[in-house]
Structure 1
Amino acid sequence: MTNLKTSTELKAIAKERSLDKYGILILANIIIFVLQMAISSIVTISSSGSLVIFAINQIIFLIVSILLGVLVSGKAYLYMNLIYSQTVSTGDIFFGLKQHPDKAVKIQSVFVLADFLSSLPASIIWFILTPRSPFSVRVALFIALLFGLIVNIYVSLTYSQAFYLLHDYPDRSAKELLAYSKTLMQGNRFKLFSLHISFIPLIIFGCLTFFIPLLWIFVYRYATLTAFYQDLIAAGNTGKVENGLN
């Protein structure tokens, strides 16, 4: 895996493949966002300050976030079709409902639970924090936040390819797909991390210009990340991908 494309080359591929398909891709992203927001708001039972209600809402949020893995899977399928020069449509985002939704949910649970557990210490400290809390408590909060961020970044990078792999290797179990992603990302975490960082100036620009450009920027970003997968799997494969897009 030593001959991977540069960030500039990956972005060029993303631009070229997305050129006449931005309308479909932007609409698909909007649909996913609206569905996620709608489902999350419907299942939230109350905004009461009660600790019990808060705990119930957190549990519901975790369950819904995990189930939404089918949409994440569908989004991966949509952008894989794009990068592999296949026909794309907004309906692709629902492919995760047909392509082993149980595996998509299991993969998503790794990200959701890692996020929840790594942020739990900071959440507990924040809950007990008061204006009169000693400085040591504030330091503990900072350390807990930093810990959660590091764990989240590590998990996100390590298993970042699992949803793509689900569509290239549909016969493998969720555990095998996660393990394969971990193998592929060995020595490549920093490259993917740098690729994510490179979009920060564009995202800031989008936020400063009334958010409208973000519609294009998010498409460009996700297409680039999918191009990274295409390059990674091509470099990592010694044989033909079974039942896959490539």
Structure 2
Amino acid sequence: MNINYSPMKTNSELRSTARDQLRGQWVTAILISVVFMIISALPNAIPYAGSVISIVLTGPLTLGIISCFIRLVRKQNFTFENVFDGFKNFTSAFILQILVTLFVFLWALLLIIPGIIAGYRYSMSFYILYDNPNLGAMEALDLSKKIMMGNKWRLFCLHLSFIGWALLSILTCGIGFLWLVPYINTSVANFYEGIKKTM
């Protein structure tokens, strides 16, 4: 099926597209999400040094998980090994994660709402870094800020549209999140594919 990405695609259409793309790919997508969650959680089991390890790993792992779902929506081959793709651009991913965390934290010091807005403002920075690995972290942040102008509310509503599924996942003792997380990640990857044309 040929998929025509459009900045005006509705959230319902983004979710529908994601379901189509995940058909036949659910096992791989779930495995990727599980690998990501396990690796992300492991540092918490290490006293004292765990926090430092988590800070070091978060950026590259985030870039890696994004690479998986970007490859999915672009109909490229992907496996759980792509979770580690972010380590190929470790320095930029690490710095980008530090800057995103810092900026969101500083805005959140004012009020919670500015912090949330800042989070959405920079939410596409890792997607941009994936497509442009030679960019510096600040450049990725600036481009994310640019393409999210007028789109922050759309992405917020997209996330909000999964609230029912999240509640159902909680009722299944978290098992439902095995399907929900890939569903959300694929939908957001499609969101990025639509708005990146504005860069």
Gaps of 5+ in 2: 1-5
CA distance in 2, matches of 1:115, 1:63: 21
SS, match of residue 68 in structure 1:
helix
Q: CA RMSD in A?
A: 2.1
Going from structure 1 to structure 2, the CA distance change for 1:118 and 1:185 (only over 3 Å counts) comes to: closer
Aligned to 1:102: 91
Select between 214-223 and 106-115 the one with higher mean Cα deviation: 106-115
Aligned to 1:219: 182
Deviation of the 1:220 alpha carbon: 0.4
CA distance in 1, matches of 2:104, 2:94: 15
Residue 153 (structure 1) aligned with residue 116 (structure 2): yes
CA distance in 2, matches of 1:197, 1:18: 20
Deviation of the 1:162 alpha carbon: 0.7
CA distance in 2, matches of 1:157, 1:68: 18
Q: In 2, are the aligned partners of 1:79 and 1:222 still within 8 Å (CA)? A: yes
Aligned to 2:3: none
The correspondence for 1:16, drawn from 16, 20, 41, is 20
Going from structure 1 to structure 2, the CA distance change for 1:62 and 1:111 (only over 3 Å counts) comes to: farther
CA displacement 1:109-164 (0-9 Å, x = unmatched): 12333455566x7xxxxxxxxxxxxxxxxxxxxxx8xx2x3233112100111111
CA distance in 2, matches of 1:200, 1:3: 23
Q: In 2, are the aligned partners of 1:78 and 1:88 still within 8 Å (CA)? A: yes
| TM-score (norm: length of structure 2) | 0.89
- In the alignment, residue 193 of structure 1 is paired with which amino acid? F
Largest Rg, 1 or 2: 1
1:159-178 mapped onto 2 (5 Å cutoff): 159-178=122-141
SS, match of residue 15 in structure 1:
helix
CA displacement 1:210-235 (0-9 Å, x = unmatched): 2211110111011101100001113x
Going from structure 1 to structure 2, the CA distance change for 1:150 and 1:62 (only over 3 Å counts) comes to: farther
The correspondence for 1:69, drawn from 59, 66, 74, is 59
Q: In 2, are the aligned partners of 1:24 and 1:90 still within 8 Å (CA)? A: yes
CA distance in 2, matches of 1:107, 1:8: 31
| TM-score (norm: length of structure 1) | 0.73
CA displacement 1:175-224 (0-9 Å, x = unmatched): 11110000000011111111111111110011112221111011101110
Residue 182 (structure 1) aligned with residue 145 (structure 2): yes
SS, match of residue 166 in structure 2:
helix
CA distance in 1, matches of 2:158, 2:52: 28
Going from structure 1 to structure 2, the CA distance change for 1:78 and 1:165 (only over 3 Å counts) comes to: same
Aligned to 1:52: none
- Give aligned-pair identity as a percent: 28
Aligned to 1:7: 11
Q: In 1, are the aligned partners of 2:106 and 2:115 still within 8 Å (CA)? A: no
Aligned length: 194
